[in-house]
């Protein structure tokens, strides 16, 4: 049982930077929560405050109801894998993993038992004598993970642990870590700026923007019901069209759509898979700028008369050519005003 409760946490760096701004977040027992956000949004700073590597300017962090803010990292029930992990190059794999237990003065036979078990768990059995420079990038990441897991933390903190790895290895390790996390039931806070990583791993995703929570939701909810244009644009691909509503019709350059909201400026949001195109008899709403064939589907890049680019997903590339005039029909869409969702079409629900 381990619940992480973050209340009103802020972090100022000097006078100018407010890296984390009065943030609230609860991570439930055994839950994996991803922190997702652009570079500089405060993800690492928040994680480092939970791990004890950064002192908050204000607020409270409790683990199972106990305040940890005044505890140094080694006295917190947390284990952290850093964004740029540094293994100890003068120690072999076994010693790297055992080091934290040695610091805690555990008996030798217990250390051996726990290190062997965790090496097995992360797929490093038999690698104990290897020097760290004799490992691949993926194996090094496993050592970094094992170093944290061996301490049996109540809360696991992972800061972009796979950032330096290639796509395939990243996907594999992602699945392995999720398996291990679920098997051990470790409450986990995971930082990434890869939305695929967040969507595929997380029980819930926290989208951070300028040190504040923009939205917290399960992956499918975040994808289908983004609460703000920022989240809509950040998760998956989204066409965001700034325009105006007048008498129940949204319009922007050649594009228009019925939209039953009051007159005024609106951000119209439609996913490429929901923006249907059809060959136009005349000038059409948009012109095709480029067609990219991905095999399973194709993406048609469109240009409105005022230069705004949109994307439409189609089943096959061969019906479409550059320069062709098309009409546009949004099948499912949302609308935002003043940074809040004001309308979602039936199909988008």
Is there binding between residue 41 and Mg ion (CB under 5 A)?
Answer: no
Cβ closest to ligand ATP, residue 45 vs residue 312: 45
Is there binding between residue 167 and ligand ATP (CB under 6 A)?
Answer: no
> Nearest to residue 123, comparing CAs of 139, 137, 110, 135?
139
CA distance 75 to 146: 19
Q: Give the DSSP H/E element, type plus range, for residue 156.
A: strand 155-159
Is there binding between residue 89 and ligand ATP (CB under 6 A)?
Answer: no
Strands 17-27, 155-159: pairing is unpaired
Q: What is the dihedral of CA 14, 15, 19, 24, to 10 degrees?
A: 110
Q: Which of 12, 95, 106, 193 binds ligand ATP (CB under 6 A)?
A: 193
Q: Which of 37, 56, 100, 219 binds ligand ATP (CB under 6 A)?
A: 37
Is there binding between residue 17 and ligand ATP (CB under 6 A)?
Answer: yes
Cβ closest to Mg ion, residue 119 vs residue 206: 206
Q: Which of 4, 45, 148, 328 binds ligand ATP (CB under 6 A)?
A: 45
Specify whether the backbone of 276 is left (phi greater than 0), alpha (psi in -120 to 50) or beta: beta
Q: Which stretch binds ligand ATP (CB under 6 A): 23-31, 33-41, 92-100, 170-178?
A: 33-41
Q: What SS3 state is found at 250?
A: strand
The footprint of ligand ATP on residues 292-311 (CB under 6 A) is none
45 contact choice in Mg ion, ligand ATP, none (CB below 5 to 8 Å, kind-dependent): ligand ATP
Q: What SS3 state is found at 121?
A: helix
Q: Which stretch binds Mg ion (CB under 5 A): 39-47, 107-115, 120-128, 306-314?
A: 39-47
Question: Strand order in 32-36's β-sheet?
Answer: 78-81, 155-159, 187-192, 32-36, 204-209, 212-217
Residues that bind ligand ATP (CB under 6 A): 13, 17, 19, 37, 39-45, 83, 193
């Amino acid at each position: 049982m381990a619940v992480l409760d973050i209340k009103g946490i802020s972090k100022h760096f000097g006078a100018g930077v407010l890296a984390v701004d009065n943030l609230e977040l609860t991570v439930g027992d055994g839950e994996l929560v991803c922190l997702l956000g652009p570079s500089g949004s405060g993800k690492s700073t928040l994680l480092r405050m939970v791990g004890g590597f950064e002192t908050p300017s204000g607020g409270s962090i409790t683990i199972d109801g106990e305040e940890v803010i005044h505890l140094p990292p080694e006295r917190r029930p947390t284990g952290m894998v850093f964004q740029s992990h540094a293994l100890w190059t003068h120690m072999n794999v076994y010693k790297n993993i055992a080091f934290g237990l040695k610091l805690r003065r555990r008996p030798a036979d217990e250390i051996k038992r726990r290190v062997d078990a965790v090496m097995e768990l992360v797929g490093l059995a038999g690698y104990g004598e290897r020097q760290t420079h004799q490992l691949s990038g993926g194996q090094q990441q496993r050592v970094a993970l094992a170093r944290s897991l061996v301490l049996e933390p109540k809360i696991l903190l992972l800061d972009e642990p796979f950032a330096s790895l290639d796509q395939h290895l990243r996907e594999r390790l992602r699945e392995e870590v999720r398996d291990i996390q679920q098997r051990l039931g470790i409450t986990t806070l995971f930082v990434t700026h890869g939305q695929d990583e967040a969507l595929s791993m997380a029980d819930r995703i926290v989208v951070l923007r300028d040190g504040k929570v923009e939205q917290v939701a399960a992956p499918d909810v975040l994808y289908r019901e983004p609460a703000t244009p920022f989240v809509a644009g950040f998760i998956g691909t989204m066409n965001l069209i700034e325009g105006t509503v007048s008498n129940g019709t949204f319009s922007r350059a050649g594009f228009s759509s019925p939209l039953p909201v009051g007159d005024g400026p609106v951000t119209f949001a439609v996913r490429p898979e929901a923006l249907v195109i059809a060959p136009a008899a005349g000038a059409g709403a948009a012109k095709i700028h480029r067609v990219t064939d991905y095999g399973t589907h194709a993406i048609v890049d469109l240009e409105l008369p005022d230069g705004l680019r949109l994307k439409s997903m189609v089943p096959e590339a061969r019906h479409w050519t550059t320069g062709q005039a098309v009409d546009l029909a949004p099948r499912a869409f949302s609308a935002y005003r003043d940074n809040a969702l004001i309308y979602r079409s039936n199909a988008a629900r």
